[in-house]
Amino acid sequence: MLFEILKARFQQGHQTTAYPAGPPPQLSERFAGMPAIERSACHSCDGICAGLCPSRAIQRDAAGAVALDMGRCLFCNECAEACPKDAIRFTSQYQLAAAKREDLITDGVNADARLALNERAARLYGRSFALRVVSAGGCGACEADVNVLTTLTWDIGRFGLHYAASPRHADGLLLIGPVPENMAFAVKETYDAIPAPKFVIAVGACAISGGMYADHPECHAGRRPIIPIDLHIPGCPPHPLTILDGLLRFLGRISEE
Amino acid sequence: MAGQSIVLRNNQPVALTEIPRLSLDAFRAWTVSQVEAGKRLAVLCCFPQIHGFLLCAVLADDANGWLELAGAEAAQEFPSLTPQCVQAQLFEREIFETYGLRPVDHPWLKPVRFPCASHHPNHKIGEMDYFQVEGPEVHEVAVGPVHAGVIEPGHFRFQCHGERVFHLEISLGYQHRGVMQALLQASESQRRHLMETAAGDATAGHTTAYCNALDALAGRQAPARAHAIRGIALEFERIACHIGDLGAMAGDVGFLPTQAYCGRIRGAALNMTAAICGNRFSRGLIRPGGVAYDLDDAIIRHLLERLEAVRADAVSAIELLWITPSVLERFERTGVVSKEIAEEIGLVGPAARACGLNRDVRHDFARGIYQFQQIPIASVESGDVYGRAMVRWLELLRSMTFVREMLLALPDSKIMSEPGAMKPESIVVSLVEGWRGEICHIAVTDAQGELSGYKIIDPSFHNWFGLACALRDEAISDFPLCNKSFNLSYCGFDL
């Protein structure tokens, strides 16, 4: 049996990504990351994209120029498929996180990966950060891609990051899901149980804005937030690389561009 | 039984007028007798009408591969089926909570999801009468809604004597997002995204059930290649989840090699889905009429290579379980559900197949690609954690073979069919074997051919009660292991 275990160990090889010191893992060619919008093309358009967007992530100003709210975006690519001028596309840029909610509203042109940094968090928890993960209406996808960071591909323990089983042992709360009414109390209680100073990371469109559930009377995230949010990691769900990148930038563990 | 019900195939639409309207007593008698005769209550639901409600029962005849549908009109109440038919208990509680239609003589009308607009007088989450055992040294353990791991919220109450569990009560609703309420007001694209997140780790399953239902109502057939790609996405989902859960079960018994490897291999399986559509959870792939992304030769080659790598890694990691005595000792005879109980409560999916029940939608109600390419059913008799683990292992091996064969001989056709208008005033039942078991969607159209009613039944709806049964007389410390062997969906139940 010991021999079989050793044989399996040999078969599995070394799998941990070299990122961030080395290159990140190869993403699918069809991966939809940071949007890039050619706004000059929008002026002579009736804006079919805004009406089509299932989570109403696309906003148009008076001149017709389009901005995309990544906090609501599902990265479903339907706007890009429908755009008659090919003015919207989703690039392969996986760095999407931002500390301020308004920095998620973008045409993609001025996107800056440094927007995720929180100097106070970096100073306090840059070398060790324990998170209490709370799923509140999450569908299981964000949970899976948050959980996968503990596996040996990503191994967040390398960075002093870990998920704590109790809020009393945590420095922050990682929130998933649109926070249904039935979880509002539990989310607040968990947040209150974490000793200060503490930070909240919202992972996924639901936790940031309510996503598809933003207008449901049952859900709180977005319109009636229960707790303040310090870092937004967009996506539906965000790729594990996007989540890890966001956490590391938030803590000042990646600074060079 | 002629005239009491209408016989349907999976995804076969019929006019609403063809549903026999029985008297409420005849409806109850018919449903109870069918379940006693060995059929399974796939759905008991009601649709609001201009006056009152239309109660519908769908019975699955797994052996013959057909469904029987009967209806009855009800105003404010109906005689409860539950005293004679356990499978009805949760459906009836749901009907009462959602619509206020009262099942008279239901033994215990507890809340199901605690929605904002509940018909229960007191509907604050968690506030209800729980099952209680009294006696010297009997104690109660309450867990949740927030759990120690990275999982969805739910509340569990154990009635214990020392370590031994007399009874586990599972009280959910914390994940209730109002999916069903939102569906009918949503645009087609929004509806599809709601389906994709109904139970987000079963995206391909729920979206396929939804798209098959809409396609059937619109009289459009997705092209063969699209059916094949839907099937590949569905099997990738099954492969990824079974690998992940086998790893987590290894972790729950403290066997770390398999746990560590499987977490990584699950990700590799999800990445195969991402190679098709860019998203690891097949978001945006499956659409009414077909699929949105085609596979070119380069992607097919890539997938075949990745599949072989995943297979080799999974075999090396998971076969360790079956030769390690300390694992087998914890898996065997833990969390047993007998075949009789499984049949009585209507278990579905791997949990049912682990009890020796040969039910699998891919075989019994085959649609799409499964009509042409069969997957053998994997079943064992033991009904314990070992059984559920072994069924998942056999299934995932067979799924990998199936996907490989699909990729090597992908039908040559378009991937999207022409749109069509949906039949007015019709109903269709759409079944798909998700990785947890039978996903059932029912769609109803109005006189204009727009959706006027929709019902989603996640396999978890049938199976949570199975987990409660598995814990009877077990040690409370085996709960995480038993729970993971089922790994049911909270959000798919709460919707």
CATH number at residue A193: 3.40.50.12280
Q: What is the DSSP string of B210-265?
A: HHHHHHHHTT----HHHHHHHHHHHHHHHHHHHHHHHHHHHHHTT-HHHHHHHHHH
Could you tell me if A151 lies within 8 Å of chain B, comparing CB atoms?
Answer: yes
The β-bridge partners of B445 are B451
Look up residue B300 and give its amino acid: I
pLDDT band at A113; cut points 50, 70, 90: low
Task: Say whether residue A138 is in contact with chain B using an 8 A CB cutoff.
Answer: yes
Assess contact for A96 and A63: CB atoms under 8 A.
Answer: no
Asked whether residue A150 is assigned to any structural domain, the reply reads yes
Residue B251 and residue B259 in contact, taking contact as beta carbons nearer than 8 Å: yes
* B193 and B281 Cβ atoms separated by less than 8 Å: no
Instruction: Report which DSSP code applies to A219.
Output: B
Q: Which pLDDT belongs to residue A251?
A: 94
Domains identified in chain B and CATH numbers: 6-104 (3.30.460.80), 179-494 (1.10.645.10)
What value does the mean pLDDT take over residues B198-219? 95
Selected residues 363-392 of chain B with any CB under 8 Å from a CB in chain A:
none
Per the CB < 8 Å rule, is A8 touching B271? no
Q: Is residue B27 pLDDT above 50, yes or no?
A: yes
Q: Which residue of B has its CA nearest to A31?
A: B278
Average of pLDDT values for B263-274?
A: 95
Mean pLDDT, to the nearest integer, of B407-431?
A: 93
The pLDDT of residue B264 is above 60: yes
- Model pLDDT, residue B1: 46
Cross-chain Cβ contact A186/B181 below 8 Å: no
User: Between B152, B178, B203, which is nearest A218 by CB?
Assistant: B178
pLDDT of B42 above 90: yes
CB spacing of A54 vs B192 below 8 angstroms:
yes
- Percent of chain B that is helix, strand, coil (3-state, to 5): 45, 20, 35
- The residue of A151, A152, A168 whose CB has the most chain B CBs within 10 angstroms, and thus the best one to mutate to test that interface, is A151
B193 and A212: CB-CB below 8 Å? yes
Q: Please report how the helices B224-252 and B297-323 are oriented relative to each other, as an axis angle in degrees rounded to 10.
A: 30
Q: Look at phi and psi of residue A86 and say left if phi exceeds 0, alpha if psi is from -120 to 50, else beta.
A: left
Which of A122, A136, A144 is closest to A190 using CA atoms?
A136
Q: Do A5 and B192 touch (CB under 8 A)?
A: no
Strands B426-434 and B6-8: unpaired
Is 70 exceeded by the pLDDT of residue B40? yes
How does A97-125 read in b/e, with b if 16+ C-beta sit within 10 Å? bbbebebbbbbbeebebebbbbeebbebb
Q: Determine what percent of chain B is predicted with pLDDT higher than 70.
A: 100
Reduced to 3 states (helix: H, G, I; strand: E, B; else coil), residue A222 is coil
The pLDDT mean for chain A works out to: 90
What is the rounded CA–CA span in Å between residue B182 and residue A219? 12
* Chain B touched by A155 (CB under 8 Å): no
pLDDT for B181 beyond 50: yes
Q: Position B64: which residue type?
A: N
B473 sits in the region (left: phi over 0; alpha: psi -120 to 50; else beta) called left
Residues of A in contact with B177 (CB under 8 A): 137, 178, 180, 213, 216, 218-219
Residue of B172, B197, B245 to mutate for A, most A C-beta atoms under 10 A: B197
ipTM for the predicted complex comes to 0.92
Q: Does B260 touch chain A (CB under 8 A)?
A: yes
The one-letter amino acid at B72: A
What is the tens place of the pLDDT at every residue in B275-331? 999 999 999 999 999 999 999 999 999 999 999 999 999 999 999 999 999 999 999
Number of domains in chain A: 1
Answer whether residue A94 is part of any domain.
no
Whether A163 and chain B come into contact, CB under 8 Å, resolves to yes
- Chain A residue with minimum CA distance to B277: A30
Q: How would you classify residue B450: left for phi > 0, otherwise alpha for psi between -120 and 50, otherwise beta?
A: beta
pLDDT at B262: 96
pLDDT at A64 over 80: no
Distance (Å, whole) CA B347 – CA B460: 9
Q: For chain A, say whether B274 makes contact (Cβ under 8 Å).
A: yes
Q: Which of B122, B127, B172, B177 to mutate to test the interface with A (most CBs of A within 10 A)?
A: B177
Closest CA to A85 of A119, A37, A35: A37
pLDDT in tens, B443-472: 999 999 999 999 999 999 999 999 999 999
When pLDDT is averaged across residues B197-206 and rounded to a whole number, the result is 95
| Residues B88-140: tens digit of each pLDDT | 999 999 999 999 999 999 999 999 999 888 888 877 888 888 888 888 889 99
Say whether residue B203 is in contact with chain A using an 8 A CB cutoff: yes
- Of the spans A83-92, B2-11, B473-482, which averages the highest pLDDT? B473-482
pLDDT at A110: 63
In a domain, A20, yes or no: no
pLDDT in tens, A160-181: 999 999 999 999 999 999 999 9
Domain that holds residue A182: 116-250
Confirm or reject contact between B310 and chain A (CB < 8 A).
no
